[in-house]
Structure 1
Amino acid sequence: MSNTEDQHGRWRLTSRYIEVDGRPIVPVSGEIHFSRLPRNRWEDRLRLMKAGGITVVACYVFWIHHEQTEGQARFDGNLDVAAFVRLCADLDLDVVLRIGPWAHGEVRNGGFPDWVQAAAVEHRTNDAAYLALVERWFNRLGAELQGLTGPGSNVVGIQLDNELYDQPRHLTALKKLARAAGLDAPIWTATAWGGADVPEEEVLPVFGGYGDGFWVDADAPWDPTFRQHYFFSHQWDDPGIGADLREKFSGSNAAPPRSPSAFYPPATCELTGGMATAYQRRPWPRGEDVAAVANNKIGSGSGWQGYYMFTGGTNPAGGLQESQATGYPNDLPVFDYDFHAPIGAAGRLAPSFGLLRRQHAFLAAFGDRLAPMPSTLPDQVPAGVEDSETLRWALRSDGRSGFVFITWHQPHIPLPDYGGAQFSLSLPADTVTFPHQPIAIPAGTIAAWPVNLDIAGVRLGWATASALTLLGPEAAPTLVLTAEAGIEAQLCLAEGTVLEGPATAVGGNTHVIDTAGSASVTARSVEGSLKILVLPADLADEAWALDTPRGRELVLSAGPLWVGADGLLAGRSVGSPSVRRYSTASCQFEEVRPVSAEPGAARQTIDAALIRAAAPVPASFGSLAGRAAAPADGDMEERAEVYRIDATAAFPPREGKGHAELEIAWAGDVARLLVDGIVVADRFWDGSPWVIETHDAGIRPGAEILLQILPLPKDAKVGVPLAAQRRRDDADGDLAALDKVELIDWTTWQEAPA
């Protein structure tokens, strides 16, 4: 794979890391589903993903989305997979196609069209009749992608099936069919969690890691299979992912966890980017929850960071979601697939986006050093998932230099501040002990601290600030670090190195950096000099490291930002944008001059009148396998309270341009939005804001917009996050409320040419 078969012009797979253009890297892939997004939003989302550090786009190709009627496969509109791959290539993004044919993805029948599901074949086996169906589909897909895969293409990976546990020969057969259909990639993958038996001579095993999931019972405590991801570990298997479907359809539990493969570097395709919302259980991972899992995987030796989902979307109409009606244990929303992703279904950035963006900037700048570095766990590791006293950290090192990764955060069961942290690293050349005095690690710390980092003739012995990126030419670079909240930023330099700038020497070649604001210092040694910029913790989440025609740039922006087709900065903001670019010459942040339309009323409250009170709601609408069923359409029509939203003057006539959002703060069980009598969006309540892009939902001036909210009974067997449960407990009877409806009209801007 990639070496003697399916060779590629850029990508090469080794047993320790992945090479691109002869250089070790840690790829960062993010899942986005082109068929769950309007085609006119593809470029917006892809540019945002790239600006967030995604280098590889991963996407399911859902058979059921393309060929609902046998023999009538569609690839028009937002189903045009070839156009999507071409667009990714135009944006310099590589692609992993997850072609199934069974995909899951919370899709009806796991992605099988109904006519395939009903076929008299042994599905997902080497039954000749089943393979004939798959061969026809792969040939159709291969024809669409003709010329877009192969040695010079941006399609660098193909995943076969999904969550297949005991059919290695079937995976091999699928690979042969795909290759015969003209599909080609240097790396073929298969999901390996749950002890899956995969043919390692044919596919790269890929893993996942979710900190919570909708697939456990509504009242289940925080499961160890989720909790394990908040620890550093060299065990990559996760027996929890897909356990509900494995038990439902095969009647068996997971096999013992797989051992790491000696053939390949550890790789992931489904690190938590968020979590889907099922009716009976509705997790809402917060930004730190997502970033903590990702940091743990990097520190544990990840050779490929892959997120599911990175960009949320909306299911096509027609009941194509996973549901109990199609034999699955969970009911999912008909439309909503926001997934609480870093980029939400409406294009809104979640807090996880900024936190992950910092990690990805680090991987882009230091991945060539990091990728060959194995991971080492400390002598004293936590005793188990209940251990909240032992500091969680790991080292990746080549024996001389490296990075210490610290993750002191977990959801549900908060950690206390950790007192007295000091690290002792026994490297072959010497033992590095730092900091000189033990320090407290505040709860919520997620860090990557450099050790013996050599840049431009200067050695940074260690720092208690995270490495973010490198700016400028190799001959005169600027190292950018980010301070941690509640931790003094200290730098220790090699003997004889002089540090100039806002720093205080405290002995032992150690300096404390003043991070009241951004601090620029210069380290000078006999061999060279290095500029070091230390960002304060409160600015770190606004930092974007962007590769532009002018080189890598550091930009501060609270709003979404990307690089336009002309190489200049672009973005959107609520009101007038405030964007600053760092100048390595002046060592200052300088204002970026935007060109944009005059900002309108950025945020305004919209009137919503109650036009019908709710009818009594039963505690249950039925169940399957002990899991509560979602209400049917008739239940919503008969029992939900109904509001009319006044859109006469509020909504701008966008015509697909710009970006405007309807944000609904509400409480209850299920909500639906109707435009001119047609349901266009739905949501299961979990306490999070519901954000809808107005144009994509068909909202326009003069349209009749109705909001239905079904009350949530106190006795309903539905699991919601703690804050939402508290509101539920405080309600006098069934819970139903509309708190506020707001219109957010974003200003789209571009950087003025020089």
Structure 2
Amino acid sequence: MTATSTLRAIRLLDDRPPLIEPAMSNTEDPHERLRLTSRWIEVDGAPTVPVTGELHFSRIPRRRWEEQLRLLVASGLTSVSTYVFWIHHERERGQARFDGALDVAAFLETAERVGIDVILRIGPWCHGEVRNGGHPDWVAAALGDRARTNDPEYLALVRDWFGRIAEQVRPFCGPDRPIVGIQLENELHHQPDHIAALKVIARESGLSAPLWTATAWGGATLPSHDVFPLYSGYADGFWAGQGSTWDDSFRDHFRFTHVWDDPGVGGDFREEGAEIVVRPIDPEFPPSTCELGGGMATAYHRRPIARGQDIAALANVKIGNGSAWQGFYMYAGGVNPEDGLQESLATGYPNDLPRFDYDFQAAFGATGRPGPSLGVLRDHNAFLAAFGPRLADTFSSLPGDAPVDVHDLDSLRWAVRGDGASGFLFVNTHQPHEPLSGSNGVQFRIPFADGELVFPDRAIDVPSGVIGRWPLRIDVAGVRVEWATASVAGIVDGEVPTLVLRAHDGLPARIQLAGRSHALLRGIEVDAAAPLDLAPDDVLVVDGALRFLVVDEERAERLWYLGADLVDSTDAVWRESGDLVVRADREPTTLVWRGEEFAPLVLRTDAQPGSARAMLEELRPVGDAPARYGESMGRSAAPDSGQFDEVAGVWRIALPAPQDRSRGDLIELVVDWEGDVAQLRADGVVIRDRFWDGLTWRIDITDLAPGAELTLHIAPIAAHSVIDLDASVRERVDAAGRLGAAIRVDRVVSSRWTSAL
């Protein structure tokens, strides 16, 4: 930790462009609930900060759509974004399918029933790690380089495709309908006329939405007025070159800055050495994101691990920078609906992706179970739900030494977002790979309009690893918080509302209230005129009007904010028909906040959840792993079918005797394995695959045909394998010399547990 004792000062400067009302959503495609200004998005007549999460309906079994959407709502999302991949629907020209898990109309109907808005990303070129970027093979073969241009033949095909989409989704477009946004194309940097033409075709086809968006990163030039530019930010990326270090474009997202462009995302599709002009934001639209990394895909040559704290830090920094809308990619993972639909070197892409797996280490994994970032994102989203209306019309101010250099690991990274009289101080001392230093002796001077605020009352040491948002002169339920050194999370409705404060590990939590408040701390009257020391599990009641609940970082990641209910659960929880529903494979330990303390929640099920170990029979040992199976563009290639079978070990999986199934049961294989590439085969056919990154592999086998013979095939990995792994995983490989084994397989049945509150 660096030794500093300087009072940190800042100048509060509102340098936002003038407030205007763009034609979009106001005079063009107006909507009853949502409208746009140059500074914020308005929902139901109030400025707010919406939160969107990406889910691909065609990569998720239809039976899971409703539960997954309810879980998105339960985790704090206000909308879901989804691609409509052309290649998923029209493999053969003229034979478009919208049945089963491809039924986009049924998905939209489900979203409307659940109560979540939808951003439809219609491409026609989407990427999403899909073959040809989503173009069917017949489009790619016929058009070649003329695709993604205003070539008349291409536009004619697009018009036909957009017309087919419109036939399905038109009933969900309109002033009171759930489609509130449509994205055109993706990562198309220098063809504004083409994006404008796509919008004309889409609208002529009958598509409409109050928001029309396009990706703006990579120095993109977009058509003025026609599209809302959206930005990105990832903690790491599978697309980086073989052997590359952690790029500055990733480091940049862990510092406070008012530069929104990201030159790194999509860099694998640009020519080496291509100049990228980082452009300022369009003053007609507020700075917003559609792709903050909610996880990360795994390519064959590069397999980064997305950790929850990395994602939380990045999201927190973007709000401190002034983001008006946050979108996460991905928020729910999945699997490709058929074999051969993935991005690959064989189809001209710079990366090999798994044939089926698209778990993305997302907040909800490929089977729908909670992932590594879900807890921290719920905490983040709860803050935006509670304070988004206050944040929306505020400005971000940076201290004089900001933005710090991306390689400066010692300077404290912080910003203030407020209206000049109140706000929040955002602090970040966390980033992956290269930990940031803490700072000693820290106090802040904030020059608010009604008087300077110096806080805390005594200097504090801010350790490494803090992801903070501290309230400054914030009023809640008639109670003013002058400042606190614990992060504000969500608010739980009630006769006396509860404001949750997250205490930071290694940092004393203190709070200063304003005025002559009457305060009870742990049931004992205290002097509220002086700063109060707080500890996890403390309850502070002020003037009988507001209750503060202090939680530690661990509990904060277990909390679910469900309106008037605050639930502590490691299992997924959602609301359905007035009940709380929990998905668990054993009796859940679920607590609910009762105003003074957490109490057990009584849950019931008629199902038979549980976990049983499968028997593994080795049929063939693993062979020797080559350094590379091949390479392209300097990147290692995944083994082809022949190469894989030559070296893969094989295990037969004998599942325990099946149990009676109940409605809503989810049956998974949980596979603990080591190696390079694994395949699960049913009766000899590959049905799932995975590139090893050291994490557990979960596979949804709910729809597996009874009696199918399951075999697990694992190709080995060796110390000389040219694959970029997370440092912790590389250590395991190097220590062993070679890894290739099926360690354990469990069949896990999780069921619905319900409680009527």
Bigger shift: 664-673 or 590-599?
590-599
Q: 1:525-576 deviations in whole A, cap 9, x for unaligned?
A: xxx83222222333211111113xxxx3211111110001x12100112421
Structure 2 counterpart of 1:471: 492
Specify the SS of the correspondent of 1:351.
Answer: coil
Whether the 8 Å contact between 1:662 and 1:693 is mirrored in structure 2 is yes
Whether the 8 Å contact between 2:217 and 2:263 is mirrored in structure 1 is yes
The aligned runs of 1:462-501 (5 Å cut-off) are 462-472=483-493, 476-501=496-521
Q: 1:356-390 deviations in whole A, cap 9, x for unaligned?
A: 00110111111100111111112233531111111
Shift of 1:505: 6.2
Shift of 1:254: 4.8
Whether the 8 Å contact between 1:654 and 1:695 is mirrored in structure 2 is no
Specify the SS of the correspondent of 1:139.
Answer: helix
1:230 aligns with 2:266: no
Structure 1 counterpart of 2:754: 750
Shift of 1:440: 2.0
Rounded Cα–Cα distance in structure 1 between residues aligned with 2:197 and 2:647: 51
* Equivalent residue pairs, number: 732
Structure 1 counterpart of 2:121: 98
Specify the SS of the correspondent of 1:609.
Answer: strand
Over 3 Å counting, the alpha-carbon distance change for 1:598 and 1:643 in structure 2 is: same
Whether the 8 Å contact between 2:585 and 2:751 is mirrored in structure 1 is yes
Whether the 8 Å contact between 2:516 and 2:529 is mirrored in structure 1 is no
Rounded Cα–Cα distance in structure 1 between residues aligned with 2:364 and 2:475: 35
Choose from 681, 694, 697 the match for 1:687. Answer: 694
1:432 aligns with 2:439: no
Over 3 Å counting, the alpha-carbon distance change for 1:314 and 1:654 in structure 2 is: farther
Amino acid at match of 1:557: S
Choose from 574, 593, 605 the match for 2:602. Answer: 593
Rounded Cα–Cα distance in structure 2 between residues aligned with 1:57 and 1:137: 22
Structure 2 counterpart of 1:413: 434
Structure 1 counterpart of 2:234: 210
Bigger shift: 685-694 or 270-279?
685-694
Whether the 8 Å contact between 1:95 and 1:156 is mirrored in structure 2 is yes
Rounded Cα–Cα distance in structure 1 between residues aligned with 2:715 and 2:58: 29
Whether the 8 Å contact between 1:506 and 1:512 is mirrored in structure 2 is no
Structure 2 counterpart of 1:139: 163
The aligned runs of 1:190-589 (5 Å cut-off) are 190-247=214-271, 253-381=274-402, 383-472=404-493, 476-502=496-522, 509-515=530-536, 518-524=537-543, 529-547=545-563, 552-564=564-576, 566-584=577-595, 587-589=596-598
Bigger shift: 530-539 or 327-336?
530-539
Structure 2 counterpart of 1:607: 615
Structure 2 counterpart of 1:711: 716
Over 3 Å counting, the alpha-carbon distance change for 1:638 and 1:653 in structure 2 is: farther
Rounded Cα–Cα distance in structure 2 between residues aligned with 1:124 and 1:95: 25
Q: 1:503-534 deviations in whole A, cap 9, x for unaligned?
A: 7969962111242xx2222222xxx8322222
Rounded Cα–Cα distance in structure 1 between residues aligned with 2:136 and 2:441: 58
The aligned runs of 1:68-217 (5 Å cut-off) are 68-120=91-143, 122-217=146-241
Rounded Cα–Cα distance in structure 2 between residues aligned with 1:240 and 1:655: 47
Q: 1:197-239 deviations in whole A, cap 9, x for unaligned?
A: 0013110000000111011122111000011111111111100
Specify the SS of the correspondent of 1:140.
Answer: helix
Choose from 609, 625, 631 the match for 2:633. Answer: 625
Structure 2 counterpart of 1:728: 733
**Unaligned segments of structure 2, at least 5 residues:** 1-23
Rounded Cα–Cα distance in structure 1 between residues aligned with 2:147 and 2:492: 52
Rounded Cα–Cα distance in structure 1 between residues aligned with 2:521 and 2:337: 57
Bigger shift: 378-387 or 205-214?
378-387
Whether the 8 Å contact between 1:504 and 1:511 is mirrored in structure 2 is no
1:667 aligns with 2:674: yes
Shift of 1:738: 2.4
Choose from 659, 676, 681 the match for 2:683. Answer: 676
Shift of 1:120: 3.7
Shift of 1:656: 7.1
TM-score with structure 2 length normalisation?
Answer: 0.94
Whether the 8 Å contact between 1:195 and 1:254 is mirrored in structure 2 is no
Rounded Cα–Cα distance in structure 1 between residues aligned with 2:535 and 2:238: 44
Rounded Cα–Cα distance in structure 1 between residues aligned with 2:744 and 2:317: 38
Whether the 8 Å contact between 1:243 and 1:254 is mirrored in structure 2 is no
Specify the SS of the correspondent of 2:72.
Answer: helix
Over 3 Å counting, the alpha-carbon distance change for 1:135 and 1:424 in structure 2 is: same
Rounded Cα–Cα distance in structure 1 between residues aligned with 2:656 and 2:634: 45
Structure 1 counterpart of 2:3: none
Rounded Cα–Cα distance in structure 2 between residues aligned with 1:188 and 1:597: 46
Over 3 Å counting, the alpha-carbon distance change for 1:37 and 1:653 in structure 2 is: farther
Bigger shift: 33-42 or 436-445?
436-445
Q: 1:18-37 deviations in whole A, cap 9, x for unaligned?
A: 00111011110000000111
Q: 1:653-696 deviations in whole A, cap 9, x for unaligned?
A: 54873123221111111000111211111000111111112214
Cα-Cα RMSD: 1.8
Rounded Cα–Cα distance in structure 2 between residues aligned with 1:598 and 1:71: 44
Q: 1:252-307 deviations in whole A, cap 9, x for unaligned?
A: 62521111221111111100011111111011111111111111111111101100
Rounded Cα–Cα distance in structure 2 between residues aligned with 1:555 and 1:639: 48
Q: 1:408-453 deviations in whole A, cap 9, x for unaligned?
A: 1111112344322222211121111111112222322212111101
Rounded Cα–Cα distance in structure 2 between residues aligned with 1:120 and 1:88: 35
Whether the 8 Å contact between 1:156 and 1:186 is mirrored in structure 2 is yes
Identity %: 48
